[in-house]
Chain A
Amino acid sequence: MASVIHPAAPTESQPGRFGIYGGRYVPETLVAALVELEHEYEAAKADPAFQAELAGLLKDYAGRPTPLYHAKRLTHELGGAKIYLKREDLLHTGAHKINNALGQGLLARRMGKQRIIAETGAGQHGVATATVCALLGLECVIYMGQVDMERQELNVLRMRLLGAEVRGVQSGSKTLKDAISEAMRDWVTNVRTTHYLLGSALGAHPYPTMVRDFHRVISREMREQILEKEGRLPTAVIACVGGGSNAIGAFYEFIPDREVRLIGVEAGGRGAALGEHAARFSGGVPGVLQGTYSYVLQDENGQIAPTHSVSAGLDYASIGPEHAALHDSGRAEYVSQDDTATLDAVVKLARLEGILPALESAHAVAECIRIAPSMSEHDILVVNLSGRGDKDMGILARELKIQGA
């Protein structure tokens, strides 16, 4: 008897694949839910009522469109390319994460799932999810590594105030990776009633595609705004890359514009040795972690390596599969900035522009600071400022020795 489901090789083009990357590597129990999500998402995408409701919330609730701001003092200080900042940090809840949380929240409601679970690293996705659950009247459980709960305590308090239950994860490295594993264990157990609101362009199909689509609005606005202000496209777009949701959102509409450089900035941490950074493209090899085939930091036996970054949101051993494909094709470039350069970038942007970036986003600022001086004044750099740094005051006070009361 012929089966309707056929095994495919990873090299075959199929939905959910970006080149050879992506796919769906999960326990069987989750597959039906992923297929349902894929179909429901396709239906919602084609449904004008869904799109209108999402657009309305993005505008009136989240605060879109976000400004494209010409950073004059930073530009002058660096003395090269003209620098613009895409102000995702001005969105409600303080980061781009709300774009995806609103989209998936509406989708969960459409599927009749009343219980939402999510993982969070820096806490920005957790706060965005808790916010959307409050808005839509959904039950909310957030998994967060114990290390991250301590270093991003302010966001833990915000999630709890918003009515979410925050569950600390004690296993493994007690960071984002372990929070995702624990969220997947919850999902596999409660899959019939629960939607897993994954916060990055990671995981099994359809998440990388769906999360990217909910963030495409970033590059769509960027493109219109820069054409309006400058009458031409930027020389380069720069974004930090953890899982890669803000970066893929900032890159996506520019992919056909071959003259626009796309620069992803990974976390260089405190050194080049395995375990000291989260730069997947320098030290990682393709593998499967948490549902998707992409570059993974791992040891020679295929065990996932520990990672380090001053920013909890970039502290992850794998990277979204679409970035892996953009890397291999050469369409996007990936570099890294270390903890020290990132902290310097925070101070520079705060003192020159009065803008306090999230530690994650500051990696992109650091790369801008590195390359702008050698560029011409005719060059335009757009930095995606994916989040604001209020949540990082504890780390910043300690690292920069800022005196409090």
Chain B
Amino acid sequence: MPIRFDHKPGLVIYLTAGDPSLQATRAIALEAIDAGADVIELGVPFSDPLADGPVIQRASERALERGTRLRDVIALAAEIRAARPAAGLVLFTYLNPILRYGLSRFADDAAAAGADGVLVTDMIVEEAGEYLAQMERTGLSPIFLAAPTSPDERLQAIATHSKGFVYAISRTGITGKQQSMTGDAATLVDRIRRWTTLPVAVGFGISNADHVAQVAEFADAAVVGSAIVELIERSTPETAPGAVARFIKGLRLPQAALTR
């Protein structure tokens, strides 16, 4: 299924699968979709998440303590797909769990589960020969990250080999909140658009309606991760789905409504 951003601005919501439990992640994901998330990124917890800040590190630790495995996350994806046929669904992971699972088997199982795409944090285009072949074979969209530090020839390669959307990193750094958007993000999105007509989603540090409104001025979608994961951390498994739904609805409220 093609990834579409039907809402303006589009919203990609990241969840660490298995935090606080797989069942809770399922409930949260469904509420998030119903509240207007265009794409759910299901994060596969990893023991050494070197691109992530403290919030997602803690969530990963909690998910791993509960024994969450890649196969469980794929099964969760299948459940979400069955319940919400039209939503975008992306598996977001570090490379090593996939290698251990088997790249080809992973691609088969992720596609069978109904995932639309895959984003591997530590996979760059130059190393992606076999990975791209497996994505192509199974009809999954490989989504690559583009960074403010990526020179034009890299952005061209990233744009050429991405499908679904291109994920633009808003700033140098790890995942986590920030006060305001820097000029890096808008410049990067402009540079990416020179090479592709794919939608561009901006992520890292987007945590409120103000940020989403800023991103909407130059990109197709905003990715919200740590802010949601932190909200889940502060909630109980019972209250988390509702809290996440309210938060997502609030992300698209105009600025005036927030200050009133």
**A residues near B, CB below 8 A?**
1, 3-10, 12, 23-33, 171-172, 177-178, 180-181, 184-185, 188-192, 285-291, 296, 298, 300-304
Which residue of B101, B121, B148, B156 contacts A302 across the interface (Cβ within 8 Å)? B101
Q: B128 at interface (Cβ–Cβ under 8 A)?
A: yes
* Cβ–Cβ contact A27 & B147, under 8 A: yes
Question: How many Å lie between the Cα of A212 and that of B172 in the bound state?
Answer: 29
Decide: A288 near B153, CB < 8 A? Known: A7-B132, A24-B127, A28-B124: no
B149 at the interface (CB under 8 A from A): yes
Which of A1, A29, A286, A291 is the one whose CB lies under 8 Å from B160? A1
Q: Could you tell me which residues of chain B, from 22 to 47, have a CB within 8 Å of some CB in chain A? A: 46-47
Bits for B81-106, please: 1 = Cβ < 8 Å to A, else 0. Answer: 00000000000001111111100000
Say how far A173's CB is from chain B's closest CB, in angstroms: 9
- Give the chain A neighbours of B154 by CB distance below 8 A: 5, 28, 31-32
**CA A8 – CA B130 in complex, angstroms?**
7
- If A12-B129, A25-B127, A287-B100 touch, whether A7 touches B161 (CB-CB below 8 Å) is yes
Binding site for A on B (CB under 8 A): 46-51, 53, 57, 64, 69-71, 94-101, 121-132, 144-151, 153-154, 156-158, 160-161, 169, 172-174, 195
Residue of A33, A289, A301 ringed by the most chain B CB atoms within 10 A: A301
Q: Is the CB of A172 within 8 A of B123?
A: no
Q: Return B108 CB to nearest CB of chain A, in Å.
A: 17
A300 pairs with B100, CB closer than 8 A: yes
Can you show 30 pairs from A to B with CB atoms below 8 A apart?
Answer: A1-B195, A3-B156, A3-B161, A5-B125, A7-B127, A7-B128, A8-B127, A8-B129, A10-B130, A12-B129, A26-B122, A26-B124, A27-B145, A27-B147, A29-B172, A31-B147, A32-B149, A32-B154, A180-B50, A181-B48, A181-B50, A185-B50, A188-B173, A192-B149, A285-B100, A288-B94, A288-B96, A302-B100, A302-B101, A304-B48
Q: Is the CB of B48 within 8 A of A290?
A: yes
**Bound: A161/B218 CA distance, A:** 49
Q: Which of B127, B132, B144, B174 contacts A188 (CB 8 A)?
A: B174
A28 and B158 within 8 A (CB): yes
Least CB distance from B38 to A in Å reads 23
Chain B nearest CB: distance from A101 CB in Å? Answer: 22
CB distance from A8 to the nearest CB of B (A): 5
Least CB distance, A209 to chain B, in whole angstroms = 16
Q: Which residue of B lies closest to A182 (CB)?
A: B50
Please name all residues of chain A whose beta carbon is closer than 8 Å to the beta carbon of B146 when the two chains form the complex.
Answer: 28
Q: With both chains docked as a complex, state the minimum distance between the C-beta of A11 and any C-beta of chain B, in angstroms.
A: 8
> In angstroms, how far is the closest chain A Cβ from the Cβ of B188?
11
Residues of B within 8 A of A178 (CB): 48
Identity of the chain A residue whose Cβ is nearest the Cβ of B148 in the assembled complex: A29
Given A31-B150, A302-B99, answer yes or no on A25-B123 (Cβ-Cβ < 8 Å).
yes
- Cβ-defined contact, A185 with B174, below 8 A: yes
A24 touches B126 (CB 8 A): yes
CB distance from B90 to the nearest CB of A (A): 16
Contact of B124 among A6, A25, A177 (CB under 8 A): A25
